[in-house]
Amino acid sequence: MRKASWFNVGSVALGLAFLYLPIVILVIYSFNASRLVTVWGGWSTRWYIELLADHAMLESAWVTLRIALLSATAATVLGTLAAIALVRLGRFRGRLLFSGMVYAPLVMPEVITGLALLLLFVAVNIDRGFWTITIAHTTLITCFVTVVVQSRLLTFDTSLEEAAMNLGCPPLKTFLTVTLPLIAPALASGWMLAFTLSLDDLVVASFTTGPGATTLPIRIYSEVRLGVKPEINAICSILIAIVATGIAGASLLAKFHDVGRGGIGGLAAR
């Protein structure tokens, strides 16, 4: 029976405080009527309103969203395929190189990958912009999806697939009707992870961007270099709110699903 010892509770509480304090402060100051951080001018939503009129910012948000949706989906497909290949296909020619390519982006500094991709695009003479960022993001993010899906595949009960085949289901159909539904939650979290990473990326986007494809992080970054501005606080708070809602919603859904399975199972009539 685990009891919460003071040391453990203390370290967790302190850690969480450290993690959340800056964010909380940022959100609070987005409501500061005064422009200066030193002066608290009372609660106000004027920065949010000004934000709505900032077309450039909104445009960037839209571009960023589209890139994130596309690259997250592409990365999920590629990452899942890679995970299947690594977990299920045993030894194949070039496996070492393959796994190297799959895992490297996890730790590679983004300046290197960004630079490399840009040089590729230049060498092949592709116009930089929306699509190059999307390709770059997909490449960068695939490995994260692979890690998530791979860990789910490792714990997957293969006897379910054997049972399906034994009952007459050919391999592809088995994958679609048995494996896929059961690993779907992992695919979903992989997608969400990919989406967030794309939404958030600054370095690689900066390298591979072109005219008309200024993403939100690029825009925020250029503003931030000039100093703190409450409008930035406002857009950041909005982004935080969106992400927090998304995560909370997803966790609640997952918990509800689990509770449904476990709880009712416990009450089942013998």
Partner 1 sequence: MTNGAMNKRGEHDRSWGARLIVLVPYLWLATFFLLPFLIVVKISLSHTAIAQPPYTPVFDPAADWESFKGSFSALSFENYAFLGSDWLYLASYLKSLEVAAGSTLLLLLIGFPLAYGMARAPRRWQPVVFVLVVLPFWTSFLIRIYAWINILQRDGLLNQVLLALRIVDTPPAWLSTDTAVYIGVVYSYLPFMVLPIYATLEKMDETLIEAAADLGCPNWKAFWLVTLPLSRPGVIAGALLCFIPIVGEFVIPDLLGSSQTMMIGQTLWTEFFGNKDWPVASAVAVVLLCLLVVPIVIYQQMETRDLAGGR
Partner 2 sequence: MGNGGADSRNDPQRQGTRRTFAPWTDPTARALVRFDGVSKQFAAVAAVERVSLDIFPGEFFALLGPSGCGKTTLLRLLAGLDTPDEGRILLDGEDIAPVPPYRRPINMMFQSYALFPHLTVEGNVAFGLKQEGLPKTEITARVEEMLALVRLEGLGKRKPHQLSGGQRQRVALARSLVKRPRVLLLDEPLAALDKKLRGETQFELMQLQERLGLTFVIVTHDQQEAMTVADRIGVMDHGRLIQVATPPEIYERPNSRWVADFIGEVNLIEGRVVDVGASETVIASAAAGRLRALSPTDAKPGDVVWVALRPEKVRIAHAPPPTGGENCVAGQVGNIGYLGDLSVYKVRLDNGIVMKAAVANVTRLVERPIGWDDRVWLTWAPEAAMVLTR
Residues 94-153 that bind partner 2 (CB under 8 A): none
Q: Does 89 bind partner 2 (CB under 8 A)?
A: no
DSSP letters for 201-265: --HHHHHH--TT---HHHHHHHHHTT---HHHHHHHHHHHHHHHHHHHHHHHHHHHHHHHHHHHH
- How many residues bind partner 1 (CB under 8 A)? The answer is 103
- Candidate residues 52, 163, 184, 244; the one interacting with partner 1 per rule CB under 8 A: 244
Q: Does 9 bind partner 2 (CB under 8 A)?
A: no
Beta carbons of 73 and 191 less than 8 angstroms apart: yes
Counted residue by residue, the chain has a size of 270
Alpha-carbon torsion (134, 138, 140, 141), positive or negative: positive
Tell me which residue has tokens 């009712």: 264
- Candidate residues 25, 163, 242, 252; the one interacting with partner 2 per rule CB under 8 A: 163
Name the segment binding partner 1 (CB under 8 A); options: 43-51, 52-60, 166-174, 262-270. Answer: 166-174
Q: Does 182 bind partner 2 (CB under 8 A)?
A: yes
Q: How far is 97 from 101, CA to CA, in rounded Å?
A: 6
Q: How far is 71 from 133, CA to CA, in rounded Å?
A: 9
Chain residues 21-40 in contact with partner 2, contact rule CB under 8 A: none
**Residues 113-132: x where in contact with partner 1 by CB under 8 A, - otherwise, as a string:** x-xxx-xx-xx---------
Q: Does 262 bind partner 2 (CB under 8 A)?
A: yes
Q: How far is 5 from 149, CA to CA, in rounded Å?
A: 35
Q: Does 141 bind partner 1 (CB under 8 A)?
A: no
Q: Does 184 bind partner 1 (CB under 8 A)?
A: no
Q: Does 68 bind partner 1 (CB under 8 A)?
A: no
- The SS3 call for residue 43 is strand
Cβ neighbours of 103 (radius 10 Å): 15
231 binds, among partner 2, partner 1, none (CB under 5 to 8 A by kind): none
Q: Does 265 bind partner 2 (CB under 8 A)?
A: yes
Q: Does 255 bind partner 2 (CB under 8 A)?
A: no
* Residues at the site binding partner 2, with contacts judged by CB under 8 A: 157, 159-160, 162-171, 173-174, 178, 181-182, 261-262, 264-265, 268, 270
